[in-house]
Structure 1
């Protein structure tokens, strides 16, 4: 990593050196051409005879030609300078953006490797335990439940990766049907209560809220928000899921009491691969795809998602959708 960073610094150093050299060469050529123009003007004036007819008009014409050429050099030089600077800024931003994206992809692969290895290792250990040891019914059920949880975790991860690939390939399509969104949200919440019995997860859901959308995608969006709240808040804190409808406007809120998100990062959290930079979040599991996919899903359902601060700490993710008519 250190060697790669050092190499990138050398590349940027060479880039800036070449840019400065090109601009310096442009300035040098401008000065050289301008001096040559002045020397030619002096030479032409020296060749004139003061007694010849129209001497004053000829002198004025030569001086006007000098000013015209100087203005031409300035205009052309300034145009070239603008083109060079604009091109340099474009290249610099494009390369910097590509390097940043490459770094995010590298971080994603590292996180993905960890996310895949952990549930596989847990499931393997549980199955080996069931195979080699004689356990009572309660112990067996507990190991089976844990294995199912890790399998669900792998399934969610694979779904996120598949959906992300479809979005990148422009194959992102949704199937529309009338959904009881209230039941969908309650099922998602109950699933997390079963998977994380030690967490304080509560919900307030208005019954029989219907909308038109894709069941699997909306389920993924809700699951991603609840999963995000669990990842980035302490075990002893509460997580609340609220669903209500007012005048055909559906509002879903997922509230946590974690460390929160800085104001300058609130928009960035919906970027692909992005993960907030404080120590608490860097230690949390995740690939940086959950909120990115959630935003894409909600946008494709003609809704919007926002994040605000919770009181006294934490975040509130709010989804706004239109109810079925």
Structure 2
């Protein structure tokens, strides 16, 4: 959370608690005023009684009973109002804080999406203009075309993440589950990234013939996002590892990197929509804050679980587990 957002939260919190304190004080004042009025009315009625009246004791008892009933009534009403105000204030307080945080994250998202769109477009345009203007060697041409292809793949991934995220959240995406070989899907994605980033260190442990019932497009996005996330947050010399295993009815897919790692207090929040560690104005890594949110949504739609843990040496390990209904017999 940036400094500006923190200031807004502090100001909103101070104003909110001041207003709440005013409401509670007004409620207490209302209770005291009614109690005083009730006792004054009872005292006035008692003063009007005549001591020599044979029904004096009975009338006195009626007045004191009425006063007691009124006391209980005011205490009950005041307590109910106080409880309702406190409960409502807690809900409103958390809702306002969520809205401010969401607004900040949306601003960060707009900044990130602008950067993510402009950068690949600018690189692709520059490469194509260079190819048109200059006569380059075949090796340089291939290198520039490969770089342009990588940037267009980034644009395609970004567009897919935004579109699918919007459709899933709005309930407009129809999940088409089918029996497919997850091993082949993971292996194809892993080899594709290894070919696109040959300067990286890669390692895989993919158990063959692991089947799953799921949406091939969503599972492809899940695998691609986790591997791309590892590339973003790993140093160039760091090892990126993909593992896929099945034990009984549980399929476990893991992507491990050797980056800086994720602080413990951030581990749960990284799966929130638009959430990214750090500040958008000072952050150097690419991204929009949709990738991991989309991963969590896809995993949950496939009745699975996703979590992140520290890698043994350094970095992070993202673990996805699926429970299959039928065990594949090998």
Alpha-carbon contact 1:193-1:199 (below 8 Å) kept: yes
Contact map agreement 1:210 1:324 (CA 8 A) in 2: no
User: Quick check: 256-265 or 68-77, which moved more?
Assistant: 256-265
Residue aligning to 2:191: 190
- The equivalent of 1:290 in structure 2 is 291
Secondary structure (helix, strand or coil) at the match of 2:260 reads coil
The alignment's TM-score, normalised by the length of structure 1, stands at 0.92
Unaligned runs of 5+ in 1: none
Distance 2:4 2:200 in 1: 43
Q: Distance in 2 between matches of 1:133 and 1:254?
A: 41
CA distance in 2 between partners of 1:168 and 1:213 (Å): 18
Q: How many equivalent pairs are there? A: 324
Q: 1:242 touches 1:254 (CA, 8 Å); kept in 2? A: yes
Rounded to whole Å, the distance in 2 between the matches of 1:47 and 1:224 is 85
Gaps of 5+ in 2: none
Structure 2 residue 216 is matched with structure 1 residue 227: no
Contact 1:211 1:322 survives alignment (8 Å)? no
- Structure 1 equivalent of residue 108 of structure 2: 107
Return closer, same or farther for 1:5/1:242 CA change in 2, 3 Å cut-off.
closer
Structure 1, 116-125 or 81-90: larger mean CA deviation: 81-90
Please say if residues 273 and 289 of structure 2, whose CA atoms lie closer than 8 Å, have aligned partners that are also in contact. Answer: yes
CA 324–182 in structure 1, closer or farther in 2 if over 3 Å, else same: farther
Residue 184 of structure 1 deviates from its aligned partner by 1.2
Equivalent residue runs for 1:5-154 within 5 Å:
13-154=14-155
For 2:3 and 2:319, locate their aligned partners in 1 and report how far apart those are by CA, in whole Å: 40
Instruction: Provide Cα deviations, 1:1-44, integer angstroms capped at 9, x if missing partner.
Output: 99998777666555444333322222222111111111112212
In structure 1, how many angstroms separate the alpha carbons of the residues matched to 2:242 and 2:162? 25
Separation in structure 1 between the aligned mates of residue 190 and residue 295 of structure 2, nearest angstrom: 16
Bigger shift: 33-42 or 142-151? Answer: 33-42
Single out whichever of 159-168 and 302-311 deviates more from structure 2: 302-311
* 2:303 matched residue in structure 1: 302
